[in-house]
Structures are given as structure tokens and as C-alpha cells.
Structure 1
């Protein structure tokens, strides 16, 4: 039984159903994937993790698994991705810090100021920044990706329950019980895949918290030819609009858009691409990322529980790493093979670093 039907839960449900397991998904919303549907969709490992090679390589592996999903799902379920180069603007100090780690960015190359007009036509970029161009940029529409995976879950016999809020999880000899707004559900094991809502009454010990991200979708006169990443980012959407995002705010569970957030995003967009001053804002969107202090998801058994697990805390890389997380969790749950998941992502390590973690999963 999975608690939460976002992209991580859906991918895990599909993986588990593929092993022959009986799988039920309980999701609190009237539609699946509350945060997944609000995601901006930049599916590229963030350079903020270059200083942590194990995590960065894991995210790169996640991208490879996402690419497999695109090839597997899009022919049948329609396009949910758009590939474009990504141009990153770095401060000089950051460029120097990353210089010795660029082996992790095999296809990226530095772009000189004299080449920027050809690489990024119509953009007004600060000369004091350093620019790194990677041909492997990718945007993913979270709602469409989730719909494709959900269709595969339905075909595999996954039992999906919307508008079913889980209020408590308890364990008993031989089984676990989810008390919900629609009665009780019983299962051999439970995996909490509820994103930013994975802590609280479900698992109070989990260090997962909400991080608000606001974004604006613009309808421009012309297509943006690349993904531009700086303080925020500009990126082409799957439907042809331009996505400007996204803030990173500690606002609790408040999903409101704010005037200050929208103003910052629009100022960034028009400063980087003056031609966007005439674009029409056609959508305002805010969602809650499931964040952890270290930036790594929590994947494994919850400490002090024997039948309750978690797959949450993916922050801004949920779309990027959902399939990889699901495969690692499925291998652990079905075959007790947890080695596909980095040890640092174990919930016990996150809660009690330095302790003997033998058998924590």
C-alpha cells in the first residue's frame, strides 16, 4: 500500500505491480499528484550538488532512467517532454569551484561572451558571469508524465483510491493499517510517498518539510530556444509557453502566490530576455516541494517501524529521479536488495548519522 499518488508513488506502484505484487495507492486529492502537477519540470541535475559526487551521479542515473521512460511512454501516451540545451550563468567564484568537477559534465562547454549572441539570441546577459552550455537540457510536464505512468498502473491492476486522506498509520502483528477518510485499509507493508505531507501524523520523525515554489507561465511572441538557468530559470514548456521559475521559500504549507514572488520572477525574465516584456502571463502556479536539509530523498524503512517505509524528500528533482527511486525501493521491498540506493538516503542515517546502521532497512 502506497500513501500518496504523485510521480514517485506512481512509478513505485508500477514497479511493484510489475513484480506481481498487489498494490493499492491512497491519495488525498481529488486528482493525483498535487505537487507533481505544479512542478516547473526542469529535469537536469542541479550544479549545487556537484560538490557531492555520489548524489550528483545518482541524479545523472535518474536522468538516464527518465530518458528510458520518455522513450517507453511517449509513443503510446503522447509527448510530455521537450529537449533543449541548457545555458547556466555562474558567478566567477562558482565557476572556479566547479572547474575541477566538470568531468561529471562530459558534454558541457564554456561559452565566451563573444559567442553568446549566437548561442542565446535575444538575451541580455551580464558580462561578468561565466556561461556553461550543456546540450542535454530537458523539460518535463509533470501532469502528463504522471498521467502516462498512471495509465500503466491501471493496466497492471493497481488499485487507485482518490479523495482518500490517510489520517494515521499503525502496525500490528503481520500487517499494517491505514485509517483514512474512507475507512481502514490493511496491507502487508506501507510506503509513505506523500511528498511534503510525508511527515506529520503519518510519520512524525521524518525530516521532510515543505518548500514553496512559485512560477509564472508566459505566452511569448516567439519560442525560447534554450533553458536558461541563473538566479531563476527560463525554459520552454511542452505546450510552447515560457516557464519562469521558481522561488524557494519557507512558507509552511501555504501554497499561495504572492505579489513579491511574481514580481521577482517577471523582473528576472524581462531582464534576461527584454523581448518578453510584451509577453502575456497566462498561468500562475505554486507548489510545495518535499525538501530535506541535505537535499537527498529518504528511501527505506522508517526507524522504529517494521512495516512502514518512505520514499519522499526529492525536493526539486522529483521528476528527474522518481523512476530511479522507484526501482531502488522495489528491489528493496521485493528482494531485500537495498544496495541500489545510496546509504546516505536511508532514513535512519538521516535521523541518526554516525550510529551503527546495520540492518536499518
Structure 2
């Protein structure tokens, strides 16, 4: 029997299994498909809480805390696995192309500055000094020099390697058919690979978390939202920094690709790329960097992001079910929030501490 059974092998499940194993716990991690095969591999790897969250509050606090962990967390992971996850915290521009956008952006800048965050207001030549490829139509931007991105696919690969080296029992292609209960306590799951038992079971199955918990007649408001993303070649387009606008983002990666995106559409569990989605991506980003018109197209992909009713993740114990907890509903911020989620959830599983989990507890939706 394991100390902890983690159900779902995306970025959250892998990060949690890695963290728990580093704390000396015996961990089993199960995934019905491929490791990180859903939202995690379909992400752009953004590490940008100041861009992502529009107001002060627990989500921004969590995002900033996780970003602070990232440099050391990634370095430790790279040293342990002898890999490279291509962290780039070299700055990010959020750009306004017209007066209305500029007014909205300036309001955001003022409260972020008042809160003490490292942001700068740029106009005119200051914009092209930071990013020469930016359109001449840019009127202003918030520059956040400490945000950036990571190669999420390399990160997932490194976490799988790290879990394996740490002795985590990794079971891919393992389909869970039921949640095992004994004397009112969850003791594991029934699966296509036989019964799997543990002292603690954690659901980290992303957009499928609701389906998993329905096995116990527990309803949680998690739904899939499709995100479609594309990549083009960076040849002849030497972008320096990430660019965000109201209609898309442009992320220069260290592997020679520029990742552009992204759509948000509710299509059930369909993750295919559509022509309408691809057109939306391309039309959304080209006004910010005109040179993208000549970029060589490389690939496009889609993933299902786990969205919740109030936009906050579900972290912590499931009321009424001893031995069962959840870490999910991170929407498009799973990559950013994975280090802090792993830390806080490991604190709960190891010590019973819910101090940091209070704003995210499932009890806000589920009663005993």
C-alpha cells in the first residue's frame, strides 16, 4: 500500500508526486493516457501572474508565490534529471493598441505599482527599446521584467524522469473504474491494472475531475474549456520578450519556435483544432508583430483546460470522505501554479495543514 495515490498525470499530478516523494512518502501516480497529454502539454508555459490575474486577491497572491518558487524549483529539477526546462524570466509586455485599451491598462498598472510589484509603464521609443519587433501602432504597455515562460513539454518530461528517479510508481495507460471505500474511508481506486490502495488518494485529473468524483455521487463544478494554440518558426523574427494583447499572446521559445494563442471555447471534451480557432489565433496576434505575416507555420494543437465556477482551483479534502482530496481546476494556470500547489498540498497530506488552502477548499461547493 502506498502512502499516497495520485490520480491524474498532468503537470499538477506530476509535481505533487515529485514533491511527496522528496518528502519520503511512497507514491503511486496513475494516468489513463500519456503523461501530461491533455492541458499540460497543450499550454504555452506562461509564468505571468501579474498579466493573468486582473485584481488583488488570493489568485494573484498564489501566482506570485509560485513564480517566486520557480527559479530554484526548476534548477533543482534540472540538476536532478540532467535536463533543461528552458525557464526564461526575462520580461513580458502587455500592450495597448488604442486609447480604450490604454486606459484599462493604466488602471491595472496603477494598482500593481501601489501594491509594490515590479512593473513599468512604457510609451513611445521605450516600447521598441524593449521589443524592436513590436508594431508602430503600440501606444503603451506594462513591462513586467520578472515574468516570462517555460518550455512546458520539457518540464513535463523532466518531472516524469524525476518521479521515476525518486521511486514513484508510475502507471500510464491505467484507467480508473471506481473509487474504493471501506468503513466510510477512501482507500484507493479500482483500475484496469487491478486494485490500487493508499492511505491518501488525491484527484488531479484536470477537466475529468468532476467525472472521477461522480463515482462517489460528489458534484464539483469543473468543466473543460478548449484552448487552441499554434507555433511558427522564429527564423527572421528575433523576438526578445513575450507580448500580450487583448486578442492574443506571442511567446518566443528557446527551441526556435514562437508559440501563439490562444482560443477559449466550450466544446465538451473535444480537443481538435478547428479552422475557426486557427484563424482566430493568427488574426489575433499579427497586429502586434507584423513580421509574423511571413513566419513559417509549424504546428497547431488543442487541450482541455479545467475551469471552475468561480475561477479558483479546488485544493484540499473532499468533505464527507476521509482519505480523499483534490488538486485541480487550475484552468490555464496549471504550469504557473504547479510548484506552489505541490507544496501546499504536500503540507496538507503530510501535516494536515490547510492554512494556505482556505480560499481554495472544495467545501465552498461541497457540503458533508
Q: Which residue of 1 aligns with 2:301?
A: 285
Structure 1 stretches of 4+ with a deviation exceeding 3 A read 30-33, 201-204
Native 8 Å contact 2:231 2:260 kept in 1: yes
Residue in structure 2 matching 1:347, options 344, 350, 362 = 362
Q: Which residue of 2 aligns with 1:153?
A: 163
Task: Tell me how large the CA RMSD over aligned residues is.
Answer: 2.0
Native 8 Å contact 1:123 1:273 kept in 2: yes
Native 8 Å contact 1:32 1:162 kept in 2: no
Q: Which residue of 1 aligns with 2:176?
A: 166
Q: How many angstroms apart in 2 are the aligned matches of 1:305 and 1:337?
A: 17
* Superimposed CA distance per residue, residues 145-178 of structure 1 (whole angstroms, 9 cap, x where no aligned partner): 1221222211221101000011221321355231
Provide TM-score, normalisation by structure 2.
0.89
Native 8 Å contact 1:344 1:350 kept in 2: no
Q: Which residue of 2 aligns with 1:215?
A: 229
Q: How many angstroms apart in 1 are the aligned matches of 2:180 and 2:56?
A: 36
SS in structure 2 at match of 1:327: helix
2:230 is aligned with 1:230: no
SS in structure 2 at match of 1:330: helix
Q: Which residue of 2 aligns with 1:318?
A: 334
Q: Which residue of 2 aligns with 1:69?
A: 73
Residue in structure 2 matching 1:89, options 82, 92, 95 = 95
- Compare 310-319 and 16-25 and name the one that shifted more: 16-25
Q: CA deviation at 1:261?
A: 1.1
Q: CA deviation at 1:331?
A: 0.9
**Structure 2: stretches of 5+ with no match in the other structure:** none
| Match runs of 1:1-361 below 5 Å | 1-47=5-51, 49-75=53-79, 76-90=82-96, 91-98=101-108, 99-104=110-115, 106-124=117-135, 126-127=137-138, 129-173=139-183, 176-203=187-214, 204-220=218-234, 221-231=236-246, 232-341=248-357, 343-351=358-366
SS in structure 2 at match of 1:198: helix
* Superimposed CA distance per residue, residues 304-338 of structure 1 (whole angstroms, 9 cap, x where no aligned partner): 21121100011111111111111111111111111
Q: How many angstroms apart in 1 are the aligned matches of 2:66 and 2:151?
A: 16
Q: Which residue of 2 aligns with 1:357?
A: none
Instruction: Specify whether residues 182 and 119 from structure 1 end up closer, same or farther in structure 2 by C-alpha distance, changes over 3 A only.
Output: same
SS in structure 1 at match of 2:121: strand
Q: How many angstroms apart in 1 are the aligned matches of 2:136 and 2:326?
A: 42
SS in structure 2 at match of 1:8: helix
Q: CA deviation at 1:137?
A: 2.5
Native 8 Å contact 1:223 1:241 kept in 2: no
Instruction: Specify whether residues 216 and 93 from structure 1 end up closer, same or farther in structure 2 by C-alpha distance, changes over 3 A only.
Output: same
Provide TM-score, normalisation by structure 1.
0.91
SS in structure 2 at match of 1:9: helix
* Superimposed CA distance per residue, residues 334-359 of structure 1 (whole angstroms, 9 cap, x where no aligned partner): 11111132x1100002446xxxxxxx
Instruction: Specify whether residues 286 and 105 from structure 1 end up closer, same or farther in structure 2 by C-alpha distance, changes over 3 A only.
Output: farther
SS in structure 2 at match of 1:338: coil
SS in structure 2 at match of 1:121: coil
Q: CA deviation at 1:48?
A: 5.0
Q: How many angstroms apart in 2 are the aligned matches of 1:212 and 1:167?
A: 25
* Superimposed CA distance per residue, residues 184-227 of structure 1 (whole angstroms, 9 cap, x where no aligned partner): 21222210011111111434412111111111100132321110
Native 8 Å contact 1:168 1:202 kept in 2: no
Aligned residues: 351
SS in structure 2 at match of 1:200: helix
* Superimposed CA distance per residue, residues 270-302 of structure 1 (whole angstroms, 9 cap, x where no aligned partner): 222111111111010111111112221110011
Q: CA deviation at 1:243?
A: 0.7
